[in-house]
Amino acid sequence: MPLTGKRERFCQEYLKDLNATQAAIRAGYSEHTAGSQAHDLLKKPEVQAEIDRLKLERSRETKIDANWLLKRLAAEAEADVGDLYGPNGELKPVQEWPEIWRKGLVQGFDIEVIRAPDGPEVGLVKKIKVSDRVKRLELIGKHITVQAFQENVSHTGLDALAERLERAARRVD
């Protein structure tokens, strides 16, 4: 069944930030009811199918898919911090860093000038802050078949609890 104009717009807006309430507002639903409207819309199979179709289309256009992401995460996890330093242990200029480091592995850096008491510069302290590699490994672990970091939640004892409640109810009667 084809979607109405508003529902189609909701699907398009939803992909912008994955915020269903804001997508509903941008699609023209009332601000007062947007949260419940969005909740209901996301339950509709035809809306979910359209969102999935739009995601697939976007993935094809950007050429970013699970394989691309996994390769990128693996390259980032394996990047050698030693590539940022020259043979004498000095930090290389940023333009000489390998591309993988320039595209997100370094969260920031500080350069502090050290001066002598009379004012001349005597040295520099260069600090770099590297992004969280453990998080990358965790994401890889969740994606691969082994799913090493999959969060498992199990519920046990519910049958025993139901039985105990039933016995207690019989004692009260």
Comparing 50 with 167, which gets the higher pLDDT? Answer: 50
pLDDT score, position 155 = 56
79 touches 105 (CB < 8 A) = yes
Count CB neighbours of 153 within 10 A.
4
The whole-angstrom separation of Cα 28 and Cα 168 is 53
Q: Is 35 exposed, middle or buried (0-12, 13-18, 19+ CB in 10 A)?
A: middle
Checking if the pLDDT of 118 tops 60, the result is yes
Q: How confident is the model at residue 150 (pLDDT cuts 50, 70, 90)?
A: low
The whole-angstrom separation of Cα 52 and Cα 69 is 18
9 touches 27 (CB < 8 A) = yes
The size of the chain, in residues, is 173
The whole-angstrom separation of Cα 160 and Cα 55 is 44
Checking if the pLDDT of 30 tops 60, the result is yes
Percentage of the chain beyond pLDDT 90 is 35
pLDDT score, position 141 = 76
Domains of the chain: residue spans and CATH:
5-64 (1.10.10.1400), 68-135 (no CATH)
Q: How confident is the model at residue 17 (pLDDT cuts 50, 70, 90)?
A: very high
Tell me the pLDDT tens digit for each residue of 46-105.
999 999 999 999 989 988 888 888 888 888 888 998 998 999 988 888 899 999 888 878
pLDDT score, position 49 = 94
The pair phi, psi for residue 127, each rounded to 5°, is -125, 135
pLDDT score, position 66 = 82
Checking if the pLDDT of 149 tops 70, the result is no
Q: How confident is the model at residue 14 (pLDDT cuts 50, 70, 90)?
A: very high
